[in-house]
Amino acid sequence: MKVSGRGLRAVRRGGLTGEALAPGDKSISHRALIFGALADGETTVRGLLEGHDVLRTAAAMRALGAGVERDLTDAGPVWRILGAEWRDPVRPLYFGNSGTGCRLVLGAAAGQGLAARFDGDQSLRGRPMKRISEPLSLMGARISSEDGRLPLVLSPAPLRGIDYRLPVASAQIKSAVLLAALGARGETTIIEPAPSRDHTERMLKAFGADLRIDMAADGRRLRLAGGQRLKASPVDIPGDPSSAAFLIAAATIAPDSDVLVRNVLINPLRAGFFETIADMGANISYENQRELCGEPVADIRARSSSLRGVVVPASRAASMIDEYPILSVVAAFAEGETRMEGVEELRVKESDRLAAIEAGLAANGVATASGPDWLVVKGRGGAVSGGGTVATHLDHRIAMSFLVMGLAAQKTVSIDDASMIATSFPEFVALMRGLGADLRQE
Ligand code: S3P
């Protein structure tokens, strides 16, 4: 495979040790910007993830009329978002690689009756958007696109509340409908058959919205009255468990490691990866548990571990949906098979992640088996040969996962393109090197 100047190579060099601060949570960062831009007053945001995906959402909020400023203080950057009546953007809204930004802003913009064009990079242009445009169209939104994908055009239309049962456990669909519902006439009811991350619900409440949540016979029921205004509220963003997972995984599989990752969100709807590696025998512990802005947070210590394969049930998928690539790498080092069930959503992430994981593992001497919605990784009991070059398909999590593999494999592991890592975790390479990782430019 051709490796451009954007490639990186990970070399095993002994243990990882030290402390790292997890970067701000990506999901909460997008929401803080969107909520701040919709709210009356000024929202101050601390701990915002300054990755490319989130910066695209910040640019979209500016284009829609909100004030978005970054101040550098002694305690780090503080973002100030001044809410506004949204106006039609002059140019198309471009979301790069970011499904979350694009889908949530589409919902919110539909609720505000705007005209706008939405677009993204090659990866985002390949991802399904019908799952968002369908419920929004049921609410009365006018959205056109050639094949249910980007680019798409939103035209002004008044929205009405709907009763909607989510077809997949997706926080993006749930959040797009809730954001649209804020600007709709009448109440919107959403039934969520399986719970997904609840940051939108928590933030709606923090911004003063009247959201009612109860358990119905067929799932969790959310009810939101239309025509509500949000009130600005400060947001302190905890560290992203999906990013922390790479550091914790590396410490678990590289011999002689002991790493403390500080300030990690441990919301149970996001903590499936930590639960799973604990089941596999990983030596991890939560220290200094506390609350930050209504979310549970801890410092997580991880040490080198002997791991065994496990079955990861479908019921856990939503709570670790972004962590399957790194779990697959961890599973490669375990004794025995790890079977992951109910993972069909991985086919429509930044890449077809099941295919990308299998190809990456095969290139490094690890056998797998898969079906439409399951994956088995045949663990090598600590002895992963490595030596392969992995195609990352514009997918940051594939890139980081296989670099982590290279830190513990017998031979070096290369990735073809590290540039997308900056979409979610710009400090990844520097933080890993700070812990002792040997990552080299190709
Ligand atoms: C996200 C939800 C998940 C996740 C994505 C972030 C969110 O997507 O994969 O990285 O912030 O709501 P789905 O809702 O499509 O599962």
pLDDT tens for each residue of 232-258? 999 999 999 999 999 999 999 999 999
We find that the CATH architecture of domain 8-24+238-441 is: Alpha-beta prism (3.65)
pLDDT of the residue at 409: 98
Ligand 1 centre from 410 Cα, in Å? 34
Give the model's pLDDT for residue 3: 44
CA 197 to chain centre: 10
What residue ranges do the domains of the chain occupy?
8-24+238-441, 26-227
Residue with CA nearest ligand 1 atom 13: 170
Encoding tokens for residue 323? 């962590």
173 Cα nearest atom in ligand 1: 14
For residue 355, the SS3 value is: helix
Contact between residue 139 and residue 183 where contact means Cβ atoms under 8 Å apart? no
Q: 279 catalytic, yes or no?
A: no
Q: Ligand 1 mean position to 442 CA, how many Å?
A: 31
The dihedrals phi and psi of 82, each to the nearest 5 degrees, come to -100, 110
Which among 53, 299, 322, 416 is annotated as catalytic? Answer: 322
| Strand pairing category for 311-312 and 335-341 | parallel
Q: From 428, 359, 440, select the one nearest 397 (Cα to Cα).
A: 428
- Identical fold at 8-24+238-441 and 26-227? yes
Which superfamily is assigned to 26-227 in CATH? Enolpyruvate transferase domain (3.65.10.10)
Question: What pLDDT does 397 receive?
Answer: 98
Residue 104 CA, closest ligand 1 atom number: 12
Kindly state if the Cβ of 175 falls inside 6 Å of ligand 1.
Answer: yes
Under 8 Å between Cβ of 122 and 394: yes
User: Which of these, 154, 114, 112, lies nearest to 132 by C-alpha position?
Assistant: 154
Beta-strand pair 295-303/283-292:
antiparallel
User: Which tokens belong to 368?
Assistant: 């797998």
pTM (global) more than 0.75: yes
171 lines ligand 1 (CB under 6 A): yes
Query: What separation in Å is there between the alpha carbon of 147 and the centre of ligand 1?
Result: 22
**H or E stretch at 142:** strand 142-145
Instruction: Give the Cα separation of 369 and 371 in Å (integer).
Output: 7
Q: Which amino acid is at 23?
A: P
The single residue listed with the structure tokens 């399957």 is: 324
Q: Whose CA is nearest to atom 16 of ligand 1?
A: 170
The ligand 1 atom nearest the CA atom of 174: 14
Q: How far is the CA of 172 from the centre of ligand 1 (A)?
A: 5
Residues of the chain with pLDDT under 50: 1-3
> Is residue 245 classed as helix, strand or coil in its secondary structure?
helix
Distance 261 CA to ligand 1 centre (A): 23
pLDDT at position 317: 98
Q: Dump the DSSP string for 248-311.
A: HHHHHHSTT-EEEEEEEE--TTT-HHHHHHHHTT-EEEEEEEEEETTEEEEEEEEE----B--E
